[in-house]
Protein backbone atom coordinates (compact mmCIF):
# COMPACT_ATOMS: atom_id res chain seq x y z
CA UNK A 1 0.00 0.00 0.00
CA UNK A 2 1.18 3.51 -0.78
CA UNK A 3 -0.07 7.07 -0.95
CA UNK A 4 1.15 9.05 -3.98
CA UNK A 5 3.95 6.52 -4.33
CA UNK A 6 4.99 6.83 -0.66
CA UNK A 7 4.84 3.58 1.35
CA UNK A 8 2.03 3.75 3.88
CA UNK A 9 4.51 3.02 6.69
CA UNK A 10 6.10 6.42 6.07
CA UNK A 11 2.70 8.08 5.94
CA UNK A 12 1.87 6.69 9.38
CA UNK A 13 5.24 7.80 10.74
CA UNK A 14 4.84 11.27 9.24
CA UNK A 15 1.39 11.58 10.85
CA UNK A 16 2.91 10.50 14.18
CA UNK A 17 5.60 13.17 13.96
CA UNK A 18 3.06 15.77 12.93
CA UNK A 19 0.93 14.84 15.92
CA UNK A 20 3.92 15.10 18.27
CA UNK A 21 4.79 18.51 16.82
CA UNK A 22 1.28 19.95 17.08
CA UNK A 23 -0.10 18.13 20.13
CA UNK A 24 2.92 18.41 22.39
CA UNK A 25 0.77 18.16 25.52
CA UNK A 26 -0.24 14.68 24.34
CA UNK A 27 3.12 13.69 22.82
CA UNK A 28 3.37 10.38 24.68
CA UNK A 29 -0.11 9.23 23.61
CA UNK A 30 0.58 10.24 20.01
CA UNK A 31 3.94 8.44 19.93
CA UNK A 32 2.53 5.26 21.46
CA UNK A 33 -0.46 5.37 19.12
CA UNK A 34 1.82 5.78 16.11
CA UNK A 35 4.05 2.91 17.23
CA UNK A 36 1.02 0.65 17.68
CA UNK A 37 -0.48 1.63 14.31
CA UNK A 38 2.75 1.01 12.36
CA UNK A 39 3.38 -2.27 14.18
CA UNK A 40 -0.14 -3.56 13.48
CA UNK A 41 0.06 -2.43 9.84
CA UNK A 42 3.27 -4.39 9.27
CA UNK A 43 2.00 -7.34 11.30
CA UNK A 44 -1.24 -7.64 9.30
CA UNK A 45 -0.29 -6.27 5.87
CA UNK A 46 3.33 -5.92 4.83
CA UNK A 47 5.41 -7.98 7.23
CA UNK A 48 8.61 -6.86 8.94
CA UNK A 49 12.17 -6.64 7.66
CA UNK A 50 12.92 -9.90 9.46
CA UNK A 51 9.83 -11.72 8.18
CA UNK A 52 6.06 -11.86 8.31
CA UNK A 53 3.68 -12.33 11.20
CA UNK A 54 4.51 -12.79 14.86
CA UNK A 55 7.80 -14.45 13.97
CA UNK A 56 8.93 -11.37 12.08
CA UNK A 57 7.82 -9.11 14.93
CA UNK A 58 9.71 -11.23 17.47
CA UNK A 59 12.84 -11.21 15.31
CA UNK A 60 12.68 -7.44 14.86
CA UNK A 61 12.16 -6.89 18.58
CA UNK A 62 15.10 -9.21 19.27
CA UNK A 63 17.27 -7.03 17.03
CA UNK A 64 16.16 -3.72 18.55
CA UNK A 65 15.80 -4.54 22.23
CA UNK A 66 19.44 -3.77 23.09
CA UNK A 67 19.19 -0.22 21.75
CA UNK A 68 15.87 0.36 23.50
CA UNK A 69 17.07 -1.07 26.81
CA UNK A 70 20.26 0.98 26.70
CA UNK A 71 18.30 4.18 26.11
CA UNK A 72 15.87 3.36 28.90
CA UNK A 73 18.67 2.67 31.37
CA UNK A 74 20.54 5.84 30.45
CA UNK A 75 17.51 8.14 30.54
CA UNK A 76 16.26 6.84 33.88
CA UNK A 77 19.73 6.61 35.38
CA UNK A 78 20.81 10.07 34.32
CA UNK A 79 17.56 11.57 35.66
CA UNK A 80 18.61 10.34 39.11
CA UNK A 81 22.20 11.45 38.43
CA UNK A 82 21.08 15.00 37.63
CA UNK A 83 19.17 15.12 40.90
CA UNK A 84 22.26 13.90 42.81
CA UNK A 85 24.28 16.62 41.09
CA UNK A 86 21.82 19.35 42.04
CA UNK A 87 21.67 18.16 45.65
CA UNK A 88 25.47 18.13 45.83
CA UNK A 89 25.05 21.94 45.76
CA UNK A 90 28.07 22.28 43.47
CA UNK A 91 26.09 24.46 41.00
CA UNK A 92 25.45 26.95 43.81
CA UNK A 93 29.15 27.81 44.15
CA UNK A 94 29.62 28.41 40.42
CA UNK A 95 28.41 32.05 40.15
CA UNK A 96 31.67 33.59 41.37
CA UNK A 97 33.58 31.43 38.87
CA UNK A 98 31.56 32.61 35.85
CA UNK A 99 31.33 36.05 34.24
CA UNK A 100 28.34 38.09 35.45
CA UNK A 101 27.00 39.02 32.00
CA UNK A 102 25.96 36.95 28.97
CA UNK A 103 29.44 35.45 28.81
CA UNK A 104 28.62 33.40 31.91
CA UNK A 105 25.94 31.52 29.98
CA UNK A 106 28.31 31.09 27.07
CA UNK A 107 31.02 29.59 29.30
CA UNK A 108 28.44 27.16 30.66
CA UNK A 109 27.67 25.99 27.11
CA UNK A 110 31.36 25.48 26.47
CA UNK A 111 31.48 23.38 29.63
CA UNK A 112 28.61 21.19 28.35
CA UNK A 113 30.42 20.82 25.01
CA UNK A 114 33.62 19.68 26.73
CA UNK A 115 31.84 17.33 29.17
CA UNK A 116 30.07 15.56 26.34
CA UNK A 117 33.38 14.54 24.83
CA UNK A 118 34.11 12.10 27.65
CA UNK A 119 30.61 11.60 29.08
CA UNK A 120 27.47 10.46 27.34
CA UNK A 121 25.74 13.40 25.68
CA UNK A 122 22.55 12.69 27.67
CA UNK A 123 24.47 13.11 30.93
CA UNK A 124 26.16 16.28 29.71
CA UNK A 125 22.81 17.82 28.70
CA UNK A 126 21.17 16.98 32.01
CA UNK A 127 24.10 18.28 34.06
CA UNK A 128 24.03 21.45 31.95
CA UNK A 129 20.30 21.77 32.49
CA UNK A 130 20.74 21.34 36.23
CA UNK A 131 23.42 24.04 36.38
CA UNK A 132 21.28 26.38 34.29
CA UNK A 133 18.33 25.86 36.61
CA UNK A 134 20.40 27.05 39.58
CA UNK A 135 22.34 29.82 37.84
CA UNK A 136 19.25 31.36 36.21
CA UNK A 137 16.79 30.95 39.10
CA UNK A 138 14.91 28.24 37.18
CA UNK A 139 13.97 30.71 34.40
CA UNK A 140 15.68 29.29 31.33
CA UNK A 141 14.92 30.53 27.82
CA UNK A 142 13.82 27.93 25.24
CA UNK A 143 16.62 29.09 22.95
CA UNK A 144 19.14 28.43 25.70
CA UNK A 145 17.68 24.97 26.34
CA UNK A 146 18.09 24.22 22.63
CA UNK A 147 21.69 25.45 22.88
CA UNK A 148 22.39 23.12 25.84
CA UNK A 149 21.16 20.16 23.77
CA UNK A 150 23.12 21.34 20.74
CA UNK A 151 26.31 21.79 22.79
CA UNK A 152 25.99 18.30 24.25
CA UNK A 153 25.36 16.73 20.84
CA UNK A 154 28.12 18.71 19.11
CA UNK A 155 30.59 17.82 21.86
CA UNK A 156 29.68 14.13 21.70
CA UNK A 157 29.97 13.95 17.90
CA UNK A 158 33.76 14.06 17.99
CA UNK A 159 34.20 11.28 20.55
CA UNK A 160 33.48 7.56 20.30
CA UNK A 161 32.28 7.59 23.93
CA UNK A 162 30.25 10.78 23.57
CA UNK A 163 27.32 9.56 21.49
CA UNK A 164 25.61 6.29 20.60
CA UNK A 165 26.18 6.91 16.89
CA UNK A 166 29.94 7.36 17.21
CA UNK A 167 30.10 4.29 19.45
CA UNK A 168 28.35 2.35 16.67
CA UNK A 169 31.00 3.50 14.20
CA UNK A 170 33.73 2.42 16.62
CA UNK A 171 32.18 -1.03 17.05
CA UNK A 172 31.97 -1.36 13.25
CA UNK A 173 35.70 -0.76 12.93
CA UNK A 174 36.17 3.01 12.62
CA UNK A 175 39.23 4.50 14.25
CA UNK A 176 38.41 6.90 17.11
CA UNK A 177 40.60 9.44 15.28
CA UNK A 178 38.27 9.44 12.28
CA UNK A 179 35.46 11.19 14.14
CA UNK A 180 37.65 13.74 15.95
CA UNK A 181 37.37 16.12 13.00
CA UNK A 182 33.69 16.57 13.92
CA UNK A 183 34.95 18.87 16.68
CA UNK A 184 35.94 21.42 14.04
CA UNK A 185 32.35 21.74 12.85
CA UNK A 186 30.97 21.44 16.36
CA UNK A 187 33.16 24.22 17.74
CA UNK A 188 32.39 26.51 14.80
CA UNK A 189 28.67 25.93 15.34
CA UNK A 190 29.04 26.52 19.10
CA UNK A 191 30.70 29.90 18.50
CA UNK A 192 27.59 30.93 16.57
CA UNK A 193 24.60 29.49 18.40
CA UNK A 194 26.29 29.71 21.81
CA UNK A 195 26.75 33.48 21.70
CA UNK A 196 23.21 34.12 20.48
CA UNK A 197 21.66 31.74 23.02
CA UNK A 198 23.70 33.21 25.87
CA UNK A 199 22.49 36.69 24.98
CA UNK A 200 18.90 35.42 24.73
CA UNK A 201 19.23 33.99 28.20
CA UNK A 202 20.84 37.14 29.63
CA UNK A 203 17.97 39.26 28.33
CA UNK A 204 15.41 36.78 29.70
CA UNK A 205 17.06 36.07 33.07
CA UNK A 206 20.61 37.24 33.94
CA UNK A 207 22.98 34.84 35.62
CA UNK A 208 23.17 34.79 39.40
CA UNK A 209 26.07 37.05 40.38
CA UNK A 210 26.95 35.76 43.82
CA UNK A 211 27.15 32.35 45.42
CA UNK A 212 24.31 31.37 47.72
CA UNK A 213 25.45 32.20 51.28
CA UNK A 214 26.57 29.38 53.53
CA UNK A 215 26.72 26.74 50.81
CA UNK A 216 28.83 23.66 51.44
CA UNK A 217 29.34 21.10 48.70
CA UNK A 218 27.92 17.69 49.54
CA UNK A 219 30.87 15.57 48.43
CA UNK A 220 29.07 12.29 49.09
CA UNK A 221 26.50 13.01 46.38
CA UNK A 222 29.21 14.39 44.09
CA UNK A 223 31.09 11.12 44.54
CA UNK A 224 27.97 9.19 43.56
CA UNK A 225 27.68 11.30 40.38
CA UNK A 226 31.30 10.54 39.49
CA UNK A 227 30.84 6.83 40.20
CA UNK A 228 27.79 6.58 37.91
CA UNK A 229 29.54 8.43 35.09
CA UNK A 230 32.69 6.33 35.44
CA UNK A 231 30.61 3.14 35.30
CA UNK A 232 29.03 4.20 31.98
CA UNK A 233 32.31 5.28 30.39
CA UNK A 234 34.28 2.29 31.70
CA UNK A 235 31.71 -0.23 30.43
CA UNK A 236 31.68 1.41 27.01
CA UNK A 237 35.48 1.48 26.75
CA UNK A 238 36.15 -1.98 28.15
CA UNK A 239 33.73 -3.85 25.93
CA UNK A 240 34.63 -1.88 22.81
CA UNK A 241 38.30 -2.65 23.33
CA UNK A 242 37.97 -6.25 24.52
CA UNK A 243 34.68 -7.79 23.41
CA UNK A 244 32.62 -5.47 21.18
CA UNK A 245 30.30 -8.32 20.10
CA UNK A 246 28.72 -8.23 23.56
CA UNK A 247 27.44 -4.71 22.88
CA UNK A 248 25.24 -6.10 20.11
CA UNK A 249 23.57 -8.59 22.44
CA UNK A 250 23.37 -6.92 25.85
CA UNK A 251 22.54 -3.32 26.92
CA UNK A 252 25.88 -3.08 28.69
CA UNK A 253 26.04 0.69 29.16
CA UNK A 254 22.50 1.02 30.47
CA UNK A 255 23.07 -1.94 32.79
CA UNK A 256 26.28 -0.36 34.10
CA UNK A 257 24.46 2.87 34.96
CA UNK A 258 21.60 1.06 36.73
CA UNK A 259 24.04 -1.15 38.64
CA UNK A 260 26.09 1.88 39.73
CA UNK A 261 22.95 3.60 41.03
CA UNK A 262 21.93 0.51 43.01
CA UNK A 263 25.42 0.00 44.44
CA UNK A 264 25.72 3.64 45.53
CA UNK A 265 22.15 3.87 46.89
CA UNK A 266 23.25 3.00 50.45
CA UNK A 267 25.73 5.89 50.29
CA UNK A 268 23.20 8.47 49.10
CA UNK A 269 19.60 7.46 48.48
CA UNK A 270 18.36 8.52 45.02
CA UNK A 271 15.09 10.41 44.69
CA UNK A 272 13.14 7.41 43.45
CA UNK A 273 10.00 9.53 43.07
CA UNK A 274 11.55 11.08 39.95
CA UNK A 275 11.38 7.80 38.06
CA UNK A 276 7.67 7.85 37.02
CA UNK A 277 8.08 11.19 35.25
CA UNK A 278 11.39 10.18 33.68
CA UNK A 279 9.84 6.87 32.62
CA UNK A 280 7.09 8.66 30.67
CA UNK A 281 9.65 10.75 28.78
CA UNK A 282 11.75 7.66 28.14
CA UNK A 283 8.82 5.67 26.75
CA UNK A 284 8.06 8.57 24.40
CA UNK A 285 11.57 8.41 22.94
CA UNK A 286 11.56 4.61 22.76
CA UNK A 287 8.26 4.73 20.85
CA UNK A 288 9.78 7.06 18.24
CA UNK A 289 12.95 4.93 18.00
CA UNK A 290 10.76 1.85 17.51
CA UNK A 291 8.77 3.62 14.76
CA UNK A 292 11.99 4.66 12.99
CA UNK A 293 13.36 1.12 13.15
CA UNK A 294 10.24 -0.17 11.36
CA UNK A 295 10.57 2.15 8.38
CA UNK A 296 11.28 0.28 5.10
CA UNK A 297 14.56 2.08 4.43
CA UNK A 298 17.02 -0.36 2.88
CA UNK A 299 19.60 2.07 1.58
CA UNK A 300 20.62 5.72 1.54
CA UNK A 301 21.61 7.90 -1.42
CA UNK A 302 25.19 7.59 -2.66
CA UNK A 303 27.68 8.44 0.09
CA UNK A 304 28.69 12.07 -0.43
CA UNK A 305 28.92 15.30 1.52
CA UNK A 306 25.50 16.26 0.17
CA UNK A 307 23.99 13.05 1.57
CA UNK A 308 25.70 13.50 4.94
CA UNK A 309 24.54 17.13 5.08
CA UNK A 310 20.95 16.09 4.38
CA UNK A 311 21.07 13.34 7.00
CA UNK A 312 21.62 16.03 9.63
CA UNK A 313 18.20 17.51 8.86
CA UNK A 314 16.61 14.07 8.62
CA UNK A 315 18.09 13.27 12.04
CA UNK A 316 16.00 16.02 13.62
CA UNK A 317 12.83 13.99 13.00
CA UNK A 318 14.09 10.47 12.22
CA UNK A 319 16.09 8.66 14.89
CA UNK A 320 19.81 8.82 14.15
CA UNK A 321 20.55 5.27 15.32
CA UNK A 322 18.96 3.47 12.33
CA UNK A 323 20.34 6.18 10.04
CA UNK A 324 23.85 5.47 11.31
CA UNK A 325 23.34 1.72 10.97
CA UNK A 326 22.30 2.20 7.33
CA UNK A 327 25.30 4.44 6.65
CA UNK A 328 27.69 1.87 8.15
CA UNK A 329 26.12 -0.87 6.03
CA UNK A 330 26.37 1.33 2.91
CA UNK A 331 29.95 2.40 3.75
CA UNK A 332 32.17 4.93 1.98
CA UNK A 333 31.42 8.00 4.12
CA UNK A 334 33.78 10.53 5.60
CA UNK A 335 33.04 9.40 9.13
CA UNK A 336 33.85 12.70 10.82
CA UNK A 337 31.30 14.47 8.63
CA UNK A 338 28.71 11.76 9.26
CA UNK A 339 29.33 11.86 13.02
CA UNK A 340 28.80 15.62 13.02
CA UNK A 341 25.65 15.42 10.87
CA UNK A 342 23.75 12.64 12.63
CA UNK A 343 25.03 13.64 16.08
CA UNK A 344 24.37 17.37 15.95
CA UNK A 345 21.46 17.43 13.50
CA UNK A 346 18.97 16.04 16.02
CA UNK A 347 19.35 19.20 18.11
CA UNK A 348 17.18 21.17 15.70
CA UNK A 349 13.95 19.77 17.24
CA UNK A 350 13.46 18.76 20.87
CA UNK A 351 12.55 15.14 20.13
CA UNK A 352 15.30 14.76 17.51
CA UNK A 353 17.84 13.48 20.03
CA UNK A 354 17.83 11.56 23.29
CA UNK A 355 19.54 14.54 24.96
CA UNK A 356 16.64 16.78 23.91
CA UNK A 357 14.04 14.36 25.24
CA UNK A 358 15.96 14.00 28.52
CA UNK A 359 16.19 17.77 28.97
CA UNK A 360 12.49 18.19 28.17
CA UNK A 361 11.75 15.90 31.12
CA UNK A 362 13.41 18.56 33.30
CA UNK A 363 11.82 21.47 31.39
CA UNK A 364 8.35 20.44 30.10
CA UNK A 365 7.93 23.85 28.44
CA UNK A 366 10.52 22.71 25.88
CA UNK A 367 8.02 20.24 24.40
CA UNK A 368 6.79 22.62 21.75
CA UNK A 369 8.26 22.37 18.28
CA UNK A 370 7.10 25.89 17.44
CA UNK A 371 8.72 27.45 20.51
CA UNK A 372 11.87 25.37 20.00
CA UNK A 373 12.24 26.45 16.38
CA UNK A 374 11.49 30.10 17.11
CA UNK A 375 13.73 30.30 20.15
CA UNK A 376 16.44 27.95 18.91
CA UNK A 377 16.66 28.95 15.25
CA UNK A 378 20.35 29.58 15.77
CA UNK A 379 20.96 25.84 16.24
CA UNK A 380 19.88 25.03 12.66
CA UNK A 381 21.94 27.90 11.27
CA UNK A 382 24.88 26.80 13.42
CA UNK A 383 24.61 23.28 12.00
CA UNK A 384 24.90 24.61 8.44
CA UNK A 385 27.82 26.90 9.32
CA UNK A 386 29.70 24.15 11.12
CA UNK A 387 29.27 21.71 8.26
CA UNK A 388 30.47 24.25 5.71
CA UNK A 389 33.51 25.11 7.85
CA UNK A 390 34.45 21.42 7.85
CA UNK A 391 33.94 21.19 4.11
CA UNK A 392 36.16 24.23 3.42
CA UNK A 393 38.93 23.38 5.89
CA UNK A 394 39.03 19.60 5.56
CA UNK A 395 37.29 18.62 2.34
CA UNK A 396 35.28 15.43 1.93
CA UNK A 397 37.34 12.23 2.02
CA UNK A 398 35.05 9.25 1.90
CA UNK A 399 36.61 5.89 2.70
CA UNK A 400 35.34 2.42 3.62
CA UNK A 401 35.05 1.50 7.25
CA UNK A 402 35.12 -2.21 6.43
CA UNK A 403 38.72 -2.26 5.24
CA UNK A 404 39.96 -1.38 8.71
CA UNK A 405 37.53 -3.79 10.34
CA UNK A 406 38.79 -6.60 8.09
CA UNK A 407 42.42 -5.66 8.66
CA UNK A 408 42.16 -5.92 12.45
CA UNK A 409 41.69 -9.73 12.64
CA UNK A 410 44.49 -10.21 10.10
CA UNK A 411 46.84 -8.04 12.15
CA UNK A 412 45.89 -9.93 15.30
CA UNK A 413 46.62 -13.27 13.65
CA UNK A 414 49.99 -12.00 12.50
CA UNK A 415 50.94 -11.01 16.02
CA UNK A 416 49.81 -14.33 17.50
CA UNK A 417 51.97 -16.24 15.05
- Taking only the tens place, the pLDDT of each residue in 49-71 is 889 999 999 999 998 899 899 99
415 pLDDT band, cuts 50/70/90, is: very low
- Average pLDDT score, the chain: 90
Q: Is the pLDDT of residue 5 over 80?
A: no
- Taking only the tens place, the pLDDT of each residue in 183-235 is 999 999 999 999 999 999 999 999 987 766 777 889 999 999 999 999 999 99
Evaluate the CA torsion angle 125, 127, 129, 131 in order and state its sign: negative
Percent of the chain with pLDDT over 70: 94
- Taking only the tens place, the pLDDT of each residue in 353-411 is 999 999 999 999 999 999 999 999 999 999 999 999 999 999 999 999 876 555 554 44
CB 110 within 8 A of CB 228: no
| 323/110 Cα distance (integer angstroms) | 28
| 189/75 Cα distance (integer angstroms) | 26
Helices (H), 136-211: 142-156, 164-172, 182-204
Q: Please state the pTM of the whole predicted model.
A: 0.89
Q: Which residues pair with 7 in a beta bridge?
A: 2
119 pLDDT band, cuts 50/70/90, is: confident
- Taking only the tens place, the pLDDT of each residue in 253-268 is 999 999 999 999 999 9
CB atoms within 10 A of CB 317: 21
Write the CB contacts of 81 (distance below 8 Å, at least 6 apart in sequence). Answer: 123, 126, 127, 225, 228, 229, 257, 261
pLDDT for 115 equals: 92
Which of 285, 286, 294, 283 is closest to 38 using CA atoms? 294
pLDDT for 412 equals: 41
Q: Is the pLDDT of residue 151 over 80?
A: yes
SS3 assignment, position 362? helix
| 243/260 Cα distance (integer angstroms) | 21
| 118/60 Cα distance (integer angstroms) | 32
414 pLDDT band, cuts 50/70/90, is: very low
111 pLDDT band, cuts 50/70/90, is: very high
The DSSP code sequence of 115-130 is HHHHS-HHHHHHHHHH
192/24: higher pLDDT? 192
Q: Please, is 406 exposed, middle or buried when counting C-beta atoms within 10 Å of its C-beta (0-12, 13-18, 19+)?
A: exposed
pLDDT for 383 equals: 98
Query: Mean per-residue pLDDT for 8-28?
Result: 89
- Taking only the tens place, the pLDDT of each residue in 280-295 is 989 998 998 899 889 8
Q: Is the pLDDT of residue 342 over 60?
A: yes
Q: DSSP secondary-structure letter at 211? A: P
Write the CB contacts of 347 (distance below 8 Å, at least 6 apart in sequence). Answer: 146, 149, 150, 153, 154, 316, 353, 355, 356, 376, 379, 383
Evaluate the CA torsion angle 198, 370, 282, 347 in order and state its sign: negative
| 182/155 Cα distance (integer angstroms) | 9
| 93/313 Cα distance (integer angstroms) | 38
The DSSP code sequence of 235-283 is HHHHHHHH-GGGGGTS-HHHHHHHHHHHHHTTTS---GGGHHHHHHHHH
pLDDT for 416 equals: 35
214: left (phi over 0), alpha (psi -120 to 50) or beta: left
Which of 79, 19, 73, 64 is closest to 289 using CA atoms? 64
- Taking only the tens place, the pLDDT of each residue in 79-100 is 999 999 999 988 888 887 888 8
Q: DSSP secondary-structure letter at 51? A: B
Which of 210, 262, 220 is closest to 87 using CA atoms? 220
pLDDT for 292 equals: 87
Q: Which residues pair with 2 in a beta bridge?
A: 7
| 225/172 Cα distance (integer angstroms) | 30
Amino acid sequence: MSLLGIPFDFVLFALTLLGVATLHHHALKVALGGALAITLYQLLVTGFKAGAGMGGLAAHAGHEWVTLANLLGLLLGFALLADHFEKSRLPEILPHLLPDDWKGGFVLLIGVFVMSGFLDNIAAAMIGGTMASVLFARRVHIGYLAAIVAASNAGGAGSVVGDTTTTMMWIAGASPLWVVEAYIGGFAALMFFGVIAAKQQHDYQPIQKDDAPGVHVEYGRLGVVVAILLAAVAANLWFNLNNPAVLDHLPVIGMAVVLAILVTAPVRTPTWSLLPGAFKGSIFLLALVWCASLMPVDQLPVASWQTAFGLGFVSSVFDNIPLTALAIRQDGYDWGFLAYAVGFGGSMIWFGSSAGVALSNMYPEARSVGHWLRGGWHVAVGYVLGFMVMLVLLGWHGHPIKERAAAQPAATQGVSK
